[in-house]
Each structure stands twice: as C-alpha cells, then as structure tokens.
Structure 1
C-alpha cells in the first residue's frame, strides 16, 4: 500500500524541484567545498571522497526523513561553513580537519537531543521568520535580472516561458523554465561538456585527530555558522510551509548523526537546508503540501547519484552556464519570496520589526563570522520588544 501511495504521489513538478535544488546547490557552491578540501591538504582521491560523503550523506537524509515525515526534509552541506574552512584550515592536517568534522557532528547531535534549539525557534514570531526568509531569498530574485544582463537571449527566453507557463500551466511553470533553459543554452553553445570525465568515486577513510585548539578555534565557529546561517532559516521554512508540527529536535539529531557517520570520508557540516528546502517546499513543487515530500526524495536520489559519480559531477554541473542556473533558481523561488513578504508584513503590529529583520538579513552583514540571518532575527526581536513596551506605556 505504501508503494502504491508513493507512486500515486509522484509528479513531474516535484521530481524537477528536487533536481533543480541539487543543480543549484552543486553548480553554485561546490567549488567552495572543493577549495576548502584543497586547503586542508586533501589529495585528488580525497576530493572525490568529500563529494561522495556529502552526496551520499545528504541523499540518505533527504530520502529517509522525507519518506518518514511525508514532508520535503532537505539535508545539505553548510556553504558558509565551507567558506569558513577555506580561511581556517590552513596549516591543519587532513586528520585534524576530519576531527573537526566529527566534533561538529557531535555538537549538532547534542543540541538536537537536548531540545533547546527547538524551544528557542518556537519563540520566533512567524512574521519575523518570514521576513528573515524573504531577506535570504531576495538576492535570488535580483539574480534573475542580473543574469539577463549577462545572457539576455537565454534568460529572456526563460523569463517569457515562466510568464506564459504561469498562465497556461502554472503547476509546470518551473519545469517549462528548466527545459527552456537547457534547450536555449544548448543551441547557444553555452553548455561545455568536454571536461566531464565519467568515473565512480571511491570513499577514502581518514582517522580523525583531535586538536583542542582547532576544535575551539575552527570547530566551534563552524558549528555556530552552520546553525545560525543555515539551520535557523531552514527551520523557518519548514514551519512556514508545513501545516503540521514536525519534531525539529529529531531532525537536527539525524543531521548530527549523519555528520558523524560520514565525517571520516569528508562530510564537514551537514544541517537542515534553507535555500534548497525553499525550492522543494514551494507551491511550484506541488499544490498539495502533503505531496511535496516527493521533491525531498527526488533531491536525495539526485544527491546520491552526484556523490557516487564523484569527480564527474564537478565537471557536469560546471558545464551549465552560471546565468542559466542563477535565473532558474530565482524564477523557481519567486512564489516563495512573494509568500514570505506577504506573511512578514500582513500583521500591522509586526511590520516595523519584520522590516528591520528583512533589511538586516538582505544586507548580508556579518559580525563575529555569524551570518546576517541570525542578526536579522536578533534585531527584529529587539525592535518587537521595544515596540510592545512602548505600546504598553502609551496605554498606561
């Protein structure tokens, strides 16, 4: 019966949403991950192992959790964490780097089991969470038109296709944009496949080495960056798109467990996704929220394929023009951006605090290596508290 239910829930729009999320993730940030691996002293075999560990780890998490909870639960690597590693791992051995990854996984598992992260995020008002989400995603909307300046014909075709499909076939609008992007890029000779070398990755186990200075100096910042810049907005997306309560603590615990399991092979920081989760949880994935879990399963399958293919995926995703990937992501997220803005500014009592949250998050400002999403929520909550205090004093 479960297999029949799964087959009846299958849809092209949800499967394509999963593919687009993997395409956007790998094409836009994989180079940062590989650079972090190179800085840590990883060999060519280890580079492939990192891709394998991340792809398979994320894939298992996406498939297992999405099927169990019937929601698009997306596990992803921490892109801000990878950027942090580029500047922090110089001089560390590959074994010490692996020790840091295990340490981050243990910390993630602890906060999941303790339940404190779930308790804190439940106190964030929905308008502020929506404003934070809009602030994160707004850059993707801007990228549509930035990409149009780079490749006007290709992105123009994608944009016109989106507008037409939203009117004629709204459920398959993003699928139509994906096809239009591939076809136009192919005929414009913008897809470069000559550097793709098909091979299967071989995982390489590295015994972790624990250096207390590196654990404190690199491990703790990596953990904090992952939680504040990715997991926090990811949970906001989960709560804003899911009609039913989901056990956040359990989800975070699973991420920590997967991180520990795949860390010796190169998985540096796995957490709940933000941007790719927004792609899979949007209305474009499926009109029925209860059938969007297919996008999560699809994302997991494509992640595993990307991980197993190893070095080939690096060349494959690099073969697609950046303008196409950026425009595709922006168009796929338009509905989520619109919904987040409406939710953020609908309630008059929250508007000022939501606006500040949105502006701070969208600015990209960072203090102490902690991303703007965290500071946006902090400033929004402070503004909300001051506003409520002012209103109470005026009533008195």
Structure 2
C-alpha cells in the first residue's frame, strides 16, 4: 500500500508546478487579447445565427441547440488545443459559414441541415488526415502568407472610419483613448482601453433598445441527421471549403506569420472532428477561427511564449457564452452595427501593422506579396473558394515562378 502513497507524493508537486506555470503565463496582455477575441465572435456572428434561424423557421429549441453547439464546442477546442501545443490556436466557428447558411436554410429540412453539417465535418477531417492542406501551406512563402493576412484584416480595420462617422462620440472616445494609451501607458494594450472607453460612452450616450423577448431555456440535445446527395453537393462541400479557406488557412497563416510552428494536420483534422460533434448538436462547425487566432497570436497578446493563454481565455469566455447564450443574446442584439464594426476594427489594428511589416519589409517576393494582398482585399470568390485562398495561390505561383 506504500507504493501508491509514494507515487502520489512524488507526483503531486509536478502537478502543482504544472498548474502554477499556467497561472504564471497569464498576464494583462494575453487576457485582454482573449477577451477581445471572444467579443469578436460573440457579437456579429451571434446576430447572423439568429437571423439565419429565423429565416429557416427554426424552433426555439433548435436555435438554442445551434448557439450552444458552435460556441460550447468551439470554446472547448480553444481550451484544449493551445494547452496541448502551447501555441495560440484559437477556436470558434466560421462566420462566413453562418453567412452562407443564412442563404440556404430555407432550401433544406432541419434533419437535412444536420446531415450537411456532419458531412462537412467529415470532409474537413479527411482533408486534415490526408496531409493535403499541410502541403499547400508549406508551399507558400511566409511573406505571401503575411500579405494575405494583411489583406484579410484590412477590410475590418477600414470599417473604423465609417463607424466613427456614424457614432462620432463613441468613435472619438475610442480613437483618443487608443492614441493616449499608445503613448503613455505601456502595460495595458491600447485596444482594451479603446474598447472599454467605447462601451462606457455607448451606454452614456445611446438609448440601447434591449430585446424584450428572450429565448426560453431548454437543454441542448442530440439531433437526428438526414444524409442526402444534394446536401453533400450543395451544402456540405461549400461549407467545408468556406471553413478551410476562410478560417483554417488564415488561422494557420496568422500563426506562421507570428513565427509559430503550427501542427497543421492536427489542427485541420481536429477542426473536422469537433465540427462533426457540433453538427450532431445542431451547429454548423467548431474549428480554428481565423480572425480570433490572428488576435491571440499577434504582438498585442504579449510575450510570444505566453500568447497561448489568450486562446485559453477566449475559449473559456466562449464556452460560457454558449451555455448562457439564451440569456445573453438580447444584449448582443441591442448593440449597434457600427459599434460592432468599431470593436472589430480596433482589435485588428496591430495584426494589420505586423502583417504588412512582415509581408513587405524584405526585397524578395514583393510582387508576390502585393498580389496576395490585393487579391485577398478584393474579397472576390470563385467556385466557393474565398479570396484569401486565391490570394495565397496567386502569390505562391508568382513567388515560385516570376520571383524565384
């Protein structure tokens, strides 16, 4: 009986050191990055989900299932992956996937939608296991990846200007606090001060119309899928391609742009596995999130070795949002669209600056990086393949041919 006691005594300190190490890695910078990241996915995307559910005639139970699945499992993904690999792999769900579903929910029955979600997750899982996605990313120079990321976030950052025009007092408070913090306060990320100031002025100056109707709570439950050939071709394949191109590619690109070495095959295959799980609970996917990963892996997230804790913080907040979405949604619905754009823009300023610097600071691949930036910025898609992926393809081809 002595051996187990000795074993426990020997191992207890190591477990304690392990947890203490995690807490020591927390700092104001990665905590703020995690909070900003979670705010990004909890505002606009949540509203789009509600709109898509309404257009599809979903019941309250089905809507709660959808909200729970994408945020709960996306948050769990965001906790497990960074703790396993100690890099800021941030989970969530595909914003473009939700936008796509908003146009097709009326074309399928609810069980057929569930079947499409599950098949999409299987496709992503197979792509990850095959290693095909890894080969594509490895073929692209880092300068091109950084320029693609810059083109992707530019559209969000530019929205600060019309948002300030639409909400001048809120916008002015955010801009001034951001600039003053940048110059005088070094320990707190400027974006946190800017967003906090924007929230304070918003509540003081705007009459927010809180939704009076709340979703009635009910326990999330497993859904029964219906698999059809039409669902595979017109729902599962486009959804999988959107997730791979709009989330996996930018997310992995953001990690590589910040000099991390992401386990690409495992990230993509795990995204597929979590998406299958989310699908059975009524959600379209749970995967690595491109913009959220960019925020948690960027310079504002603090020392590079500790940035993974930003993803963990984001995951915890996202899980809580999934559990309590039925209660929080009315508040999210009350936020003006310009305010959501303002928050998104400020959260990505540093990511944009870092991406442009890494994409264009060297003489090599300048034409390739510029092409990737312009194509991505165009936001034009062909064959359900988004502009960021076309930007990577064009930039990589130019780099391997013209500028080789």
TM range (shorter): over 0.9
Say whether the 8 Å CA contact 1:130–1:240 is kept in structure 2.
yes
Q: Alpha-carbon deviation of 1:89?
A: 3.5
**Alignment partners' CA distance in 2, 1:304 and 1:344:** 34
Instruction: Check if 1:249 corresponds to 2:262.
Output: no
Provide the residue aligned with 1:363 in structure 2. Answer: 378
**Alignment partners' CA distance in 2, 1:220 and 1:30:** 23
Residues 284-363 of structure 1 aligned to structure 2 (within 5 Å)? 284-286=300-302, 288-363=303-378
Instruction: Check if 1:203 corresponds to 2:209.
Output: no
Q: Once the two structures are superposed, what CA deviation does each residue of 1:174-228 show, in whole Å capped at 9, x if it has no partner? A: 2211221111111113544454748655213211110112112221111112111
Residues 267-282 of structure 1 aligned to structure 2 (within 5 Å)? 267-282=283-298
Match of 1:214 among 227, 231, 236: 231
Provide the residue aligned with 1:15 in structure 2. Answer: 31
Q: Alpha-carbon deviation of 1:350?
A: 0.7
Instruction: Check if 1:32 corresponds to 2:48.
Output: yes
**Alignment partners' CA distance in 2, 1:381 and 1:364:** 18
Provide the residue aligned with 1:77 in structure 2. Answer: 93
**Alignment partners' CA distance in 1, 2:213 and 2:343:** 22
Say whether the 8 Å CA contact 1:23–1:325 is kept in structure 2.
no
Match of 1:109 among 120, 125, 128: 125
The secondary structure found in structure 1 opposite 2:284 is coil
Q: Alpha-carbon deviation of 1:242?
A: 4.0
Change (3 A) 1:368 1:41: same
Provide the residue aligned with 1:188 in structure 2. Answer: 205
Q: Alpha-carbon deviation of 1:39?
A: 4.2
Provide the residue aligned with 1:93 in structure 2. Answer: 109
Match of 2:191 among 156, 163, 174: 174
Query: Structure 2 unaligned runs (5+)?
Result: 1-16
Change (3 A) 1:53 1:161: same
Match of 1:131 among 132, 141, 147: 147
Match of 1:224 among 195, 216, 241: 241
Segment of structure 1 superposing worse, 143-152 or 17-26: 17-26
Query: Structure 1 unaligned runs (5+)?
Result: 390-396
Provide the residue aligned with 1:392 in structure 2. Answer: none
Say whether the 8 Å CA contact 1:33–1:79 is kept in structure 2.
no
Provide the residue aligned with 2:257 in structure 1. Answer: 240
The secondary structure found in structure 2 opposite 1:90 is helix
Provide the residue aligned with 2:19 in structure 1. Answer: 3
Change (3 A) 1:298 1:76: same
**Alignment partners' CA distance in 1, 2:45 and 2:253:** 22
**Alignment partners' CA distance in 1, 2:258 and 2:216:** 38
Q: Once the two structures are superposed, what CA deviation does each residue of 1:33-76 show, in whole Å capped at 9, x if it has no partner? A: 23333444421111011001111101110011121222221112
Say whether the 8 Å CA contact 2:163–2:338 is kept in structure 1.
yes
Instruction: Check if 1:387 corresponds to 2:402.
Output: yes
Say whether the 8 Å CA contact 1:53–1:266 is kept in structure 2.
yes
The secondary structure found in structure 2 opposite 1:284 is helix
Say whether the 8 Å CA contact 1:52–1:202 is kept in structure 2.
no
Q: TM-score, normalised by structure 2?
A: 0.91
Aligned length: 387
**Alignment partners' CA distance in 2, 1:381 and 1:201:** 49
Say whether the 8 Å CA contact 2:147–2:373 is kept in structure 1.
yes
